[in-house]
């Protein structure tokens, strides 16, 4: 596609797409967020063999939180690189991220950003919240992060920053 992708419906599969640029936040149209965004109302998205490059955030799986956080997303065999902030960010439940290569995060950004995978149930900017947003609630449980390769995170970001409840993080290679 060579453009940003915004997924707004349930049970959407996106395969073999290259996304560059950024999606505008539907709650704040002047705020750019990720290259591939699964919005706050979508469940069970499948992103397979996708590439997200040259974006603010690579892939964002957003949840509105509260009693009904979004759920059931699968990100498989993706490539994410040359982001200004984090590679893959989510605050949804039942997310699996497997077999992805994520590198060159936080290019030209401030220290502390640039996580390869950032899993959070908070209301911080990396969770898709913008300054002034209310808390995003109780998302981010039962995640599986496995067999991913993450390298060259600039500005002191973590390979994986996991701030969720239960989950499995295994067999990931993190370097540089």
In this predicted structure, the answer to whether residue 146 has a pLDDT above a threshold of 70 is yes
Q: What is the pLDDT of residues 8-20, one digit of tens each?
A: 888 889 898 888 8
- In order, the DSSP letters of 25-87 are ETTEEEEE-EEEEE-TT--S-EEES-EEEEESEEEEE----TTS--B--EEES-EEEEESS-S
Q: What is the pLDDT of residues 82-124, one digit of tens each?
A: 888 889 998 888 999 999 999 988 876 666 678 899 998 755 5
In this structure, the number of other CB atoms found within 10 A of the CB of residue 84 comes to 19
Q: What is the pLDDT of residues 47-61, one digit of tens each?
A: 999 999 888 888 988
- The torsion angles phi and psi of 126, rounded to 5 degrees, stand at -70, -20
Q: What is the per-residue pLDDT for 31?
A: 59
In this structure, the number of other CB atoms found within 10 A of the CB of residue 2 comes to 10
Exposed/middle/buried for residue 77 (C-beta within 10 Å: 0-12, 13-18, 19+): middle
Helix (H, G, I), strand (E, B) or coil at 146: strand
pTM: 0.84
The answer to whether 53 and 82 are in contact (CB under 8 A) is yes
């Amino acid at each position: 596609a060579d453009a940003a992708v915004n997924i707004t419906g349930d049970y959407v599969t996106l395969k073999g797409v290259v996304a560059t640029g950024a999606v505008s936040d539907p709650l704040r149209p002047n705020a750019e967020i990720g290259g591939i965004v699964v919005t706050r109302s979508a469940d069970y998205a499948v992103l397979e063999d996708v590439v997200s490059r040259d974006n603010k955030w690579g892939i964002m799986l957003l949840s509105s939180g509260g009693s009904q956080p979004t759920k059931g997303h699968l990100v498989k065999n993706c490539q994410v690189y040359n982001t200004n902030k984090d590679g893959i960010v989510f605050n949804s439940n039942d997310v699996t991220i497997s077999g992805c290569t994520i590198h060159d995060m936080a290019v030209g950004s401030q220290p502390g950003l640039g996580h390869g995978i950032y899993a959070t149930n908070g209301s911080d900017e990396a969770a898709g919240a913008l300054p002034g947003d209310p808390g995003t609630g109780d998302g981010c449980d039962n995640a599986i992060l496995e067999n991913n390769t993450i390298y060259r995170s600039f500005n002191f970001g973590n390979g994986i920053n996991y701030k969720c409840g239960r989950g499995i993080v295994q067999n990931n290679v993190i370097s540089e």
